[in-house]
Amino acid sequence: MKEIKTDTKEIISKERMIGLFEKNREGLFMTDSEFMSRIRKDAMERFRELGFPTTKLEEWKNTDLKASLEKGYGYYLHPVIDVDVQKVFHCNIPHLDTAIIAQLNGWYVSKDVPLMELGNGMILGSLAEAFKEYPRIIEKYYGKYADFTSSGLTALNTAFAQDGIFIYVPDNVSSQKTIQMVNVIHHPESIFLQSRNLIILGKNSRISLVHCDDSYNQQASFANIVTEVFIGENASLDHYKLQNMNNDSTLISSVYFNLEQAANLESHFISFNGGLLRNNTRILFNGKGGTANVRGLYLMDRKQHIDNHVFVDHANPECTSSELFKGILDENASGVFNGHVLVRRNAQKTNAYQGNKNILLTDTARVNSKPFLEIYADDVKCSHGSATGQLDSEAMFYLRQRGISEENARMLLMYAFANEVISKISIEPLRLRIEDMVKKRLRGELSVCEHCVLHCNTPERPLEFDIDVTKI
Amino acid sequence: MESESNKILNAFTQSEYKYGFITDIETDMAPEGLNEDIIRFISEKKQEPAFLLEFRLKSYRYWLTMKEPKWANIHYPKIDFQDIIYYAAPGKKKIPGSLDEVDPELLDTFNKLGISLNEQKKLTGVAVDAVMDSVSVKTTFSETLLKLGIIFCSFSEAVKNHPDLIKQYMGTVVPYTDNYFATLNSAVFTDGSFCYIPKGVRCPVELSTYFRINAANTGQFERTLIIAEEGAYVSYMEGCTAPQRDTNQLHAAIVEIIALKDAEVKYATVQNWYPGNKKGEGGIYNFVTKRGICKGNNSRISWTQVETGSAITWKYPSCILLGDNSVGEFYSVAVANNFQQADTGTKMQHLGKNTRSTIISKGISGGNGNNSYRGLVRIAKNAVNSRNYSQCDSLLLGNKCGAHTFPYIQVENKSSIVEHEATTSKISEDQLFYCQQRGIDMESAIGLIVNGYAKEVLNKLPMEFAMEAQKLLSVSLEGSVG
């Protein structure tokens, strides 16, 4: 295939993206169905109006994309694979059997076939392939939940969406195997990439999904990823999002969850590393009696920036949502938490909780916390709590008094702080692996390396505390 | 219980505003509209020095470049700033020396409100500076206070008698460029109160002012300036009730507080402007900028507010904690019933070391009312060892009302602790049942629960105000449970 790319040095701008779209719409998108071309056209129209977000928008007040956008990136309209796929995707969560589906630079990487149809009716694979193979499913779900009218980045993604991951779980199917979606960014140049994922869970179905974003080298990148998740009636999704990117990467991940009646979502956002990470999580209760638990843990240092935006739309009665985001910020890192719970007029018997706790380890680290509640129904229980501080000096004293070195005591307290989120991870091998990662991260031993989160060839030596914590 | 409570709800939402009456006094008015000539007219009427006219004109010119803010969670028809009378003074031009000289009709108005200047003067020991339509009518106790060196007078008098203090402090806490409504106020303010407590003096009485909006279609633009010198203490109260009107009235006030080293200022408000009728027609638009600065070390500013009135409340009494070890406090009860909208809260800017702030906000929403808490707590990099505790609770009393919380928390150092908690829930059915079971009727039970809920804040009010506030709360809310 002829290589279509634009200059690497060029900054990302609204004009560049509009130009790129106009220039390639005939060649690239001509195979689109009528449905797809209409969505692309509408999304592009909206992007022309909205452009890239600036700090003038309330939603982006504390996260400035300007510097990231101006770094200069190449943009590819076709897959670029110049590494040995086998080498990149070695999964090694000890004792965890997963079905891996992988993306490299936003494109689906097929070892065998682009779309796998499993015996139980589940379909896993490339979204680009699904556009062709399953137009009826696509038309029913695609673009219905990721609202591009209010977000410039989602509009841009919708206009350009070419590939990503597609998962379809039919009604009444439960998968024993954990599905692992790995998105690796690895390119000799700086690239701007956009990928799009669509995940559909039919009625009464149940799956566990581990979704990783990793970078494989130290090259700068800008990723704009949109994921739509439909959770059908009484279905259940156990979702883990792990992020371990290099310090020059910018990752904007927007996940739109749609929960039908009595659907259940457990979601975890674990951010270990990244230059600028922004997680937009939007949860819509589209039926009665849904439950959503969203937890997050971020461990940031250097000049890293993390921004977690969680919007929960209680559009229907008797739903329960709970958010807990905890972060430890070191050196010059900055963290943002923006939770917004909207309880609409008819959403009676709503239960909602938002929690955000931060530890600042230096005077140069910063935190912005905005837990918003907007409530229009009366029979509700909603609360939020936000606390920012440092390690408890009394707890520290207690440990020191018992002969534990200051550094170890600090580690122990930080680990205990993080453990509130980690302990909720229900897949045991994954929990153990993340526990280990957190310990390493806290000791500064885990930097982003070619051996990223879950596919280490040579797992580093397991880390132990200097003292036996079980005896304290 | 459902229908029972609905009945009570209807009974109360249909009750008319008790304080709605119009006093028929001749007023001296400026023509409608706003331009530089009107500002010159106001300034001339008030025989102001040149620097003040300059300040007004500067503000007006800046205002013309500004846009009306849209970020608040409130909705209202566009205000036509050319359709407002910016100056209206009661017909009497002479400042009365004693109560006998005050217009009997005016005195009667205050009596209807239950505040007799006479009685207050004699019995309660409260000096009342009654502001009626922008011009101070009566200042009591001034002479007593004067002996201590305390200056407590109307803003115009202060301009005449203490221009240096005005020049030195006015606009230092709320600059004329601050926000749309503050800038408007800076251009057209007519009167207000001025209070100066000299070094080391503890003001022996609670200072109090009553603002009233009277003549139809006159916006009221007060400006209050309180200065507490080193080691001084003052407790200041402001309260308002307004007559019933059909068209919306604009109220854009400014309050500035300056607390120097070791000084303490307590500022309490009971606000009961006309909230509009049960269909949401009429009512006061209340856009107020209140800000205090703890300039010296160990200074302290405390805001307490009970907001039951106004169709729209847009108000964020704030503290700039500049001095080391300074303390800022904010206690608020805000009620939004019928079609009232309240967007209120506070800003605590921690700049000095070891600064502390407390925020207690209690929102109560009923009918179609919408109540928002919007607050900022910012701990700057140098504000080491600072501490903030915020608690924002909302109580919902109907299925058509709304309660919202928009806290902003920014922390920029590692030694400070910021805690924020908020809850939103409807009035507890268990508590209602418990009371009713013991023979307390629905209505009293709700009054009891709501008063208990707001107690933490009401306790912070000076005695005289606490009584009034409790009554007000019951009147505004009794029984509005869904």
Which helix (DSSP H) or strand (DSSP E) does residue A185 occupy?
A: strand A178-185
Residue A464 has pLDDT above 50, yes or no: no
Task: Read off the pLDDT band of A201 (50, 70, 90).
Answer: very high
Q: In Å, what is the CA distance from B365 to each residue of A432, B67, B422?
A: 47, 30, 15
Contact call for B424 and A382, based on CB within 8 A: yes
Contact B399 A369 (CB under 8 A): no
Interface contact A384-B410, CB threshold 8 A: no
Distance from the A386 Cα atom to the nearest Cα atom in chain B, whole angstroms: 5
- pLDDT, position A465: 46
The answer on pLDDT for A469 being more than 70 is no
Burial of A159 (0-12, 13-18, 19+ CB in 10 A): buried
Which amino acid, B69?
P
Token duo for residue B375: 């607050």
Nearest Cβ partner of A366 from B73, B394, B412?
Answer: B412
DSSP states of A292-344 as a string?
EEEEEEEEE-TT-EEEEEEEEEE-SSS-EEEEEEEEEE-TT-EEEEEEEEEE-
- C-alpha dist (Å) from residue A147 to A16, A64, A142, A321: 23, 22, 11, 21
Q: How confident is the model at residue A443 (pLDDT cuts 50, 70, 90)?
A: confident
Q: Is B413 on the interface with A (CB under 8 A)?
A: yes
* Contact between B74 and B344 (Cβ < 8 Å): no
Q: Both ends of chain A: CA-CA distance in Å?
A: 63
User: Is a pLDDT exceeding 80 seen at residue A308?
Assistant: yes
| B28 or A429: which leads in pLDDT | A429
Residue of B nearest to A353 (CA): B423
pLDDT of A36 reads 85
* B228, amino acid identity: A
Count: domains in chain B: 1
Calpha distance B316→B330 (Å, rounded): 10
- Does A401 have pLDDT greater than 70? yes
B154 touches chain A (CB under 8 A): no
Contact A368, A339 (CB under 8 A): no
Given a cut of 90, whether residue A285 has pLDDT beyond it is yes
Q: Is B286 exposed, middle or buried (0-12, 13-18, 19+ CB in 10 A)?
A: buried
B282: left (phi over 0), alpha (psi -120 to 50) or beta: left
What local confidence, expressed as pLDDT, does residue B152 receive? Answer: 83
Q: Is B404 in Cβ contact with A373 (below 8 Å)?
A: yes
- Tens digits of per-residue pLDDT, B341-360? 889 999 999 999 999 999 99
Q: Give the contacts of B246 (CB within 8 A, at least 6 positions apart).
A: B281, B282
Q: Do A345 and B399 touch (CB under 8 A)?
A: yes
A329 close to A367: Cβ distance less than 8 angstroms: yes
ipTM for the assembly: 0.77
DSSP A232-272: -TT-EEEEEEEEE--TTEEEEEEEEEEE-TT-EEEEEEEEE
Contacts of residue A350, Cβ cutoff 8 Å, sequence gap at least 6: A314, A317, A318, A319, A320, A321, A343, A377, A379, A380, A381, A382
Contact status of B403 with chain A (Cβ, < 8 Å): yes
Q: Is B422 in Cβ contact with A385 (below 8 Å)?
A: yes
- If one compares B100 and A283, the residue with the highest pLDDT of the two is A283
In the predicted structure, residue A18 carries a pLDDT above the cut 90: no
Domain-embedded: residue B52: yes
pLDDT category at A453 given cuts 50, 70, 90 is very low
What is the rounded (10 degree) CA torsion for B210, B216, B221, B225?
-10
Provide block-wise average pLDDT over 10 residues at a time, chain B (482 residues). 53 52 59 82 84 90 88 82 73 48 54 50 46 47 76 84 90 90 89 88 77 48 90 83 56 91 90 75 85 93 87 90 93 86 92 93 87 91 92 86 89 90 85 89 80 83 72 61 44
Secondary structure of chain B in the HEC alphabet? CHHHHHHHHHHHHCCCCCCCCCCCCCEEECCECCCHHHHHHHHHHCCCCHHHHHHHHHHHHHHHCCCCCCCCCCCCCCCCHHHCECCEEECCCCCCCCHHHCCHHHHHHHHHCCCCHHHHHHHHCCEEEEEECCEEEEECCHHHHHHHCCEEEEHHHHHHHCHHHHHHHCCCCCCCCCCHHHHHHHHHCCECEEEEECCCCECCCCEEEEEECCCCCECECEEEEEEECCCCEEEEEEEEECCCCCCCEEECCEEEEEECCCCEEEEEEEEECCCCCCCCCCCEEEEEEEEEEECCCCCEEEEEEEECCCCEEEECCEEEECCCCCEEEEEEEEEECCCCEEEECCEEEECCCCCEEEEEEEEEECCCCEEEEEEEEEECCCCCCCEEEEEEEEEECCCCCEEEEEEEEEECCCCCEEEEEEEEEECCHHHHHHHHHCCCCHHHHHHHHHHHHHHHHHCCCCHHHHHHHHHHHHHHHCCCCC
- C-alpha B294/C-alpha B329 separation (Å) is 11
Q: Whole domain around residue B405: which residue ranges?
A: 2-477
Residues, chain A, total? 472
pLDDT of amino acid A312: 94
CB contact under 8 A, A389 and B417: yes
Under an 8 A CB cutoff, do B421 and A381 touch?
Answer: no
What are the φ and ψ backbone dihedral angles of A70, each rounded to 5 degrees? -85, 5
Look up tokens 């007006």; give the residue.
Answer: B60
d(CA B448, CA B25): 40
Q: Do A380 and B424 touch (CB under 8 A)?
A: yes
pTM: 0.80
| Chain A positions with Cβ closer than 8 Å to B | 58, 345, 348, 358, 360-390
Distance between terminal CA atoms of chain B?
A: 9
Look at residue A323 and tell me whether its pLDDT is greater than 90.
yes
A382 and B413 in contact by Cβ < 8 A?
no
Measured between CB atoms, does B418 come within 8 Å of chain A? yes
**Are the Cβ atoms of A370 and B406 closer than 8 angstroms?**
yes
B398 contacts in A (CB within 8 Å)?
378
**Which residue on chain B is closest to A381 by alpha carbon?**
B425
Helices then strands, counting H and E runs in chain A, come out as 10, 21
Distance from chain centroid for Cα A215: 14
Q: For chain A, give the percent of residues with pLDDT over 70.
A: 87
Q: Report d(CA A65, CA A73) in Å as an integer.
A: 14
- Say if B459 is an interface residue toward chain A (CB within 8 Å): no
- CB distance B40 to B53 below 8 Å: yes
B397 touching A (Cβ < 8 Å): yes
Q: Which residues contact B98 (CB under 8 A, 6 or more apart)?
A: none
How far CA B467 is from CA of A18, A65, B462, B472, in Å, comes to 65, 54, 9, 9
> CB-CB: which of A366, A373, A377 is closest to B405?
A373
What are the backbone angles phi and psi of residue A218, rounded to the nearest 5°? -100, 10
B482 is a domain residue: no
Nearest CA to CA, how far is B434 from chain A (Å)?
19
Percent residues over pLDDT 70 in chain B = 75
**DSSP state at residue A434:** H
Compare A357 and A302 and report the one with higher pLDDT.
A357
DSSP string, A224-239: EEEEEEEE-TT-EEEE
Instruction: Give the residue with greater pLDDT, A136 vs B272.
Output: A136
Q: What is the pLDDT of residues A149-176, one digit of tens each?
A: 888 999 999 988 888 889 999 999 998 8
> Nearest-CA distance from B182 to chain A in Å?
22
Query: A115 or B167: whose pLDDT is higher?
Result: B167
In the chain, the amino acid numbered B77 is: P
Question: Which among B384, B399, B409 has the least Cβ separation from residue A369?
Answer: B409
**Which site among A388, A391, A393 would you substitute to test the B interface, given the most B Cβ atoms closer than 10 Å to its Cβ?**
A388
What residue in B sits closest to A61 (Cα-Cα)? B408
Tell me: the pLDDT tens digits for A30-84? 777 888 888 888 888 899 898 889 888 888 888 888 888 888 888 887 776 656 5
Nearest residue of chain B to residue A379 (CA atoms): B426
C-alpha dihedral, A243 to A248 to A254 to A255, nearest 10°: -10
- Give φ, ψ of B38 to 5 degrees: -65, -40
d(CA B158, CA B177): 23
Mean pLDDT of the region A103-132: 81
